[in-house]
Amino acid sequence: MRSGRATKFWLEPEIELARNHKYSRKQLKPIESLVEVRYNELVSAWEQHFSSGSN
């Protein structure tokens, strides 16, 4: 977060902006599009991360 900007999206139950710090709406749009395109990868990585600790 070197630039002092950050954003967070909820993935479930649907993609939704959870938090935004210093990004304009114009800057957020391509980030949101990337989250939509990579949705399955993001959810899969999240599930793998949290299931690996339970073994």
pLDDT tens digits for range 16-41: 999 999 999 999 999 999 999 999 99
pLDDT at 6 over 80: yes
Residue 48 has a pLDDT of 95
Q: How far apart are the C-alpha atoms of 44 and 40, rounded to whole Å? A: 6
Write the burial class of residue 37 (CB in 10 Å: 0-12 exposed, 13-18 middle, 19+ buried).
exposed
Q: Which amino acid is at 33?
A: S
Q: Give, in degrees to the nearest 5, the angle at Cα 49 between 45 and 55.
A: 135
